[in-house]
Amino acid sequence: MAQTLGLRAGFEGRTLAAILKSVVESKRMKFATIVTAFLCAALLGAPGGAGAAEKTSIPATTTTPQLPAYLARPQNAAPAPGVLILHDCKGLSPHYEKVAEHFASRGYVAVAIDSLSPQKLSSGCTDVAGQARTQAAYARAALDWMRAQPYIDGTRLGLLGYSMGGIAALDIVDSPEASAIPAGLRAVVAYYPVCRDRDPKRVALPIRILDGGDDDWAPAAPCQALADAATAAGKTVTITTYPGATHAFNFDAPDRIEFGHPMRYNAEAAYEAGAETIIFFHRYLSATP
């Protein structure tokens, strides 16, 4: 279930004119996609380029081990908002490094952590729920570390999770106690998470869910129910379900079956979801408190 940020598949390193030209010329793109692409590019301007990217590690704490991580920083030396990236059940792959670099090119400090190798695991796909809980605990430690870095604005943090990582992200913000929400965390984007057994009244932060209508591994219906109930409870949970999209729809790879579930790349959904991801984080992380 390795993925990449859908926006990166077509927008990275390109001007507004080039983005709109490629979107308009694609016969599969809807008008809404064109509008989304325009808004995304207009909000963010021309890509600035990542200032530095490196493999690093987050120190062990009394409750978590040392965590391998990939750190990408923007060119701007001023403290920047941070995005923590949580991988799927197959682990931290080069795809997530590219996601981090893309965020850095847009002015964010991005950190992608590896939650499997500290456990001497190469996959968490046979125990996704359990591994998501572990990943959530590691993510809390990573967010604490990010807040302590002088080049990160610790009051403006976002969490981006894919599949198992999306479950872990929801585990953090669907918390029994508001005090359990990490300080500085403002918004969460979850790609095709499992949304069953969530209490919408406990949702403590804005959440953006992006999933596929043909996803039979993490079906969209429970996430839609969560969004509807959360909205009724006065919470901010928005969802976009892409018709015909499967699990891992934004990972550009050949059609395949993984653990009995079909995976197909969907370029239109990937473009739209990537744009929505950047716009959502821009909305909640761009302004200082």
How are the residues of the chain apportioned to helix, strand and coil, as percentages rounded to the nearest 5? 40, 25, 40
How crowded is residue 216: how many other Cβ atoms within 10 Å of its Cβ? 11
**Residue in the block written with tokens 């109930």:** 229
Predicted local confidence at residue 214, as pLDDT: 98
pLDDT tens for each residue of the chain, 289 residues long: 434 455 444 444 444 444 444 444 444 445 444 444 444 444 444 445 557 899 999 999 999 999 999 999 999 878 999 999 999 999 999 999 999 999 999 999 999 999 999 999 999 999 999 999 999 999 999 999 999 999 999 999 999 999 999 999 999 998 776 568 999 999 999 999 999 989 998 999 999 999 999 999 999 999 999 999 999 999 999 999 999 999 999 999 999 999 999 999 999 999 999 999 999 999 999 855 4
Alpha-carbon distance of 167 to 271, in angstroms, equals: 22
pLDDT one-digit tens code per residue, 10-27: 444 444 444 444 444 444
Q: Could you tell me the CA-to-CA distances from 231 to 147, 227, 238 in Å, in that order?
A: 30, 6, 8
Predicted local confidence at residue 50, as pLDDT: 58
Predicted local confidence at residue 2, as pLDDT: 37
% of the chain surpassing 90 pLDDT: 74
Domain borders along the chain are 6-285
Alpha-carbon distance of 175 to 188, in angstroms, equals: 13
Amino acid identity for residue 205 in this structure:
L
What are all long-range contacts of 228-235, with beta carbons under 8 Å and residues at least 24 apart?
A: 229/200, 230/200, 230/201, 230/203, 232/200, 233/200, 233/201, 233/203, 235/200, 235/201, 235/203
Q: Which fold has domain 6-285?
A: Rossmann fold (3.40.50)
